[in-house]
Chains A and B, each alone.
Chain A
Amino acid sequence: MTIEPPTTAPLPGSVEAPVLEARGVTKRFAGVTALRSVDFAVRPGESLALMGENGAGKSTLIKVLTGVYQPDEGELLLGGSIAKFARPLDAQRAGISTIYQEVNLIPLMSVAQNIFLGREPRNRFGLIDFTKMVADARGLLDVYGIDVDVRKPLRSLALGVQQMVALARSVSINARIVIMDEPTSSLEAREVETLFSVVSLLREQGIAIVYVSHRMDEIYRVAERIVILRDGAVVRVGQLSDIPRVELVSLMLGRSVEKVRRSGSTAFSATNASTAPPVLVAEDLSRRHQIDGVDMQIRPGEVVGLGGLLGSGRSETLKAIAGVMQLDRGRVTVDGKPVRSGSVPAAIRAGIVMLPEDRKAEGIVPNLSVRDNIVLAALPRLSHAGFSSRRNQDAVVEVFMKRLHIKASSPDQIVSELSGGNQQKVMIARWLAMRPKVLLLDEPTRGIDVGAKAEVQALIDELAREGLAIVLVSSEVEEVVEGSGRVIVLRDGSIETELQGADVDEEHLLAALAGVNE
Chain B
Amino acid sequence: MTEQTMTVSLPTRGVGLGILQTYGVYLAIIVLLLYNFFFTPNFFNIGNFRTQFVQVVPALIVALGMALVIGTEGIDLSVGGVMALAAAVMPLYIGYGLIPVVMIAIVVGGLVGVINGSLVAFIGVQPIVATLSLMVTGRGIALLIAHEQLVSITDPTILAIGRGTVVGIPCSMIIAVVAVLLIAVLVNRTTFGKQLIAIGGSRRAAELSGLPVKRILLMVYILCAVLAAIAGIIGTARLGASVPSTLGNLIELSAITAVVVGGTPLTGGQVKVIGTIAGAALLQFISATLNQHNVPDAYSQIAQAIIILFAVYIQRGRLAVR
Contact = CB atoms under 8 A, between A and B. Distances in A.
B322 A416 contact: yes
A376 interface: yes
Interface string B194-215: 1101100110111111111000
Interface in B201-259: 201-202, 204-212
Given A345-B210, A376-B209, A379-B194, A366 B2 contact: no
Given A68-B8, A104-B5, A379-B194, A368 B269 contact: yes
Nearest to B3: A361
B270 interface: yes
Contacts of B195: 379
Interface stretch (A3-11, A232-240, A381-389): A381-389
Interface stretch (B21-29, B120-128, B184-192): B184-192
A287 B171 CA distance: 59
Given A356-B208, A367-B270, A379 B1 contact: no
Contacts of A388: 189-191, 193-194
Nearest to A322: B208
Contacts of B269: 365-368
A102 B322 contact: no
A102 B204 CA distance: 18
B9 interface: yes
A386 B191 contact: yes
Interface string A44-75: 00000000000000000001000010000000
Contacts of A87: 9
A363 interface: yes
A365 B205 contact: yes
A261 interface: no
A105 interface: yes
A379 B4 CA distance: 27
Given A104-B5, A107-B2, A345-B210, A362 B205 contact: yes
B208 A105 contact: no
Nearest to B319: A367
Interface string B22-49: 0000000000000000000000000000
A100 interface: yes
In this complex, the interface size class of chain A, counting residues with CB under 8 Å from chain B, is 35 or more
Interface string A377-408: 10110010011100000000000000000000
Contacts of A367: 201, 269-270, 322
Contact of A365 (B1, B9, B190, B201): B201
B207 A376 contact: no
Interface in B254-280: 269-270
A324 interface: yes
A299 interface: no
A103 interface: yes
B202 A366 contact: yes
A105 B5 CA distance: 10
A386 B202 contact: no
B317 to A, nearest CB: 14
Contacts of B1: 102-103, 107, 358, 361
B48 to A, nearest CB: 39
B182 interface: no
B298 interface: no
A446 interface: no
Contacts of A370: none
A330 to B, nearest CB: 20
A482 interface: no
Interface of A: 63, 68, 87-88, 100, 102-107, 322, 324, 344-345, 347-348, 354, 356, 358, 360-368, 372, 376-377, 379-380, 383, 386-388, 416, 430
11 contacts: A68-B9, A102-B1, A102-B5, A107-B2, A322-B208, A361-B4, A366-B202, A368-B201, A372-B198, A379-B191, A387-B191
* Closest 8 A/B residue pairs (Cβ): A365-B201, A348-B210, A377-B209, A367-B269, A365-B202, A345-B210, A383-B191, A344-B210
